[in-house]
Amino acid sequence: MKKLGLIVNPLAGIGGKVGLKGSDGEEIRRLALSRGATCEAPDKTIKALGHLKDHADQLQIITCPGDMGENEAKAAGFELEILECLLLHKDPTEMTSAEDTKMAAGLLKDMDVDLILFAGGDGTARDLCSIVSTGIPVIGIPAGVKIHSGVYGASPHKAGEAADMFLFGGGKMSLKDMEVMDIDEDAFREDRLSARLYGYMTVPYERRLVQSAKAGSSMSEHATLQSIASDVVNRMEAGEYYIIGPGSTTKAITDIMKLSGTLLGVDVIKDGKIVLNDANEKQLVELLEGEAAGHAHIIVTVIGGQGYILGRGNQQLSARVIGLTGNENIEIIATEAKMIALGGAPLLVDTGDDEVNKSLCGYKFVITSQGRRMIYRISN
């Protein structure tokens, strides 16, 4: 029997679609819930666990009570052993916390599990790293808003596939120490990106299954941003709505238009003016179902070193928003240097909706400078 430790941060990513740029801290989580946010980490965990079903009779899952693993494992059809000493169960209404994750990680470490599968974002990875470091192999199910760390599967499905291959693939996967990164969320909400390295964890590594750590932009890349922005702005049409995703590449669009756009949020432009600043999913849906219906475009960029265009740091651009806009109205912009640095690996989407992800796959133009296009493959 293989022993799999399972930890779920059920509130991971809860601030994404409602425009809060993170989920760290009880105050932020309560604010997200008050804005109508829903918990998506449990469903993503169930998707990952589905890849292990063929080995259910060879697998012992050891997990946390309630939504921190028990409910997800049962929903996926597994029998399991439950860790009974988590602090949160002194009060069933209490939110899960970093201390719960750390306590669970310590218990699993003492039980010498073969692998820890966890769902969360960079904050969850940071909490886990503080306890297990490189002592036990881990693989993350990406469920957070910001996922700069290299310890995650490329999607929930890929995380489950990686766990299956590592546990039951007969030694086909090598182990690799990958970076655990996290950012200052308070600075992030003020449109300042401040990230640091917190350590390393050991990950079963297969390039197509595991994402890379986010790479920063080089100064040479910034020289082409104005050219890319000019291409986009020169083609804007009167009466059309342009939904501008986060990132320094997309921020160049509002800069060249002399508009007060947000670096790390989603803005909407019409006729040279901002009509929505730092918009959340609800605001975008209301706009797309109303005055912007049939007249909207989404402009996104590529996360350096990872290749994601949707599902990382821009959860406001949800599957519903994409469906209302239309895949044909999505434009991708990136510098040639950033695209070349991907080494031929595809662009990636992880919207949380499998059907929408599949519909986005294929080949699409990437705008790399004024009048220049690159045809590149998108994968889920």
H helices of 243-307, in order, are: 248-256, 281-289
Of 2, 101, 103, 104, give the one whose Cα is nearest residue 59. Answer: 2
Q: Quick one: pLDDT at residue 380?
A: 82
Average pLDDT, consecutive stretches of 10 residues, N- to C-terminus, the chain (380 residues): 94 76 69 81 95 94 92 93 65 68 92 95 92 93 85 93 93 86 61 69 89 57 79 94 94 92 93 95 96 96 90 92 96 91 91 94 92 90
Q: What is the rounded CA–CA span in Å between residue 280 and residue 145? A: 13
Q: Quick one: pLDDT at residue 93?
A: 46
Q: Quick one: pLDDT at residue 129?
A: 93
The vertex-197 CA angle with 7 and 121, nearest 5°, equals 30
Tokens read off for 298: 């989404």
H helices of the chain, in order, are: 26-34, 41-49, 70-75, 98-110, 122-132, 156-168, 185-189, 219-222, 225-234, 248-256, 281-289, 319-325, 336-340, 354-360
Q: Quick one: pLDDT at residue 90?
A: 46
Q: Quick one: pLDDT at residue 213?
A: 64
Do residues 305 and 212 lie in contact, with contact meaning Cβ atoms separated by under 8 Å?
yes
Give me Rg for the CA atoms of the chain. 21
Q: Quick one: pLDDT at residue 184?
A: 61
Q: What is the rounded CA–CA span in Å between residue 79 and residue 81? A: 7
